Amino acid sequence: MIELGVNVDHVATVRQARRTYEPDPVWAAVEAHLGGADGITVHLREDRRHIQDEDVRRLRELTHIKLNLEMAPTGEMIGIACRLKPEMAMLVPEGRHEVTTEGGLDIASREAGLKEAVARLAGAAIVVSVFIDPDPRQVEAAARIGASVCEVHTGPYAHAFHSRGRDEESAAVVAELDKIRAAGEAIRSLGMRFNAGHGLNYFNVEPVARLPGVRELHIGHAIVSRAVFVGMREAVREMKRLIVDAAHAAPG
Ligand code: PXP
User: In 10 A of CB 79, how many CB atoms?
Assistant: 11
Ligand 1 centroid to Cα of residue 6, in Å, is 9
**Cβ-proximal residues to 191 (8 Å cutoff; 6+ apart), any chain:** 143
Please give the distance, rounded to the nearest whole angstrom, from the Cα atom of residue 198 to the centre of ligand 1: 4
Query: Could you tell me where the DSSP H helices lie in 19-170?
Result: 25-34, 53-62, 75-84, 111-123, 136-144, 155-163
pLDDT digits (tens, 9 = 90+) for 11-35: 999 999 999 999 999 999 999 999 9
Cα 122 to Cα 64: distance, rounded to the nearest angstrom: 20
43 Cβ below 6 A of ligand 1: yes
Is 43 among the catalytic positions?
Answer: yes
Amino acid, single-letter form, for residue 83: R
Protein residue with its CA nearest to atom 12 in ligand 1:
198
Specify whether the CB–CB gap between 67 and 86 falls below 8 A: yes
Domains of the chain: 3-240 (3.20.20.70)
* Contact status, residue 9 vs residue 50, Cβ threshold 8 Å: yes
Residues (pLDDT < 50) of the chain are: none
pTM over 0.85: yes
pLDDT in tens, 145-186: 999 999 999 999 999 999 999 999 999 999 999 999 999 999
Q: What is the structure's pLDDT at 101?
A: 76
Distance 199 CA to ligand 1 centre (A): 7
Report pLDDT for 237. 98
- 162 noted as active-site residue: no
Burial of 142 (0-12, 13-18, 19+ CB in 10 A): buried
Q: pLDDT value at position 251? A: 79
Tell me how far apart the alpha carbons of residues 32 and 157 are, in angstroms, rounded to a whole number. 25
**Torsion, Cα of 187, 135, 44, 29 (10° steps):** -50
Give the separation between CA 44 and CA 33, rounded to whole angstroms: 20
| Residues 6 or more apart whose Cβ sits within 8 Å of residue 229 | none
Instruction: Please give the pLDDT value at position 79.
Output: 98
Helix (H) or strand (E) segment spanning residue 173: helix 171-189
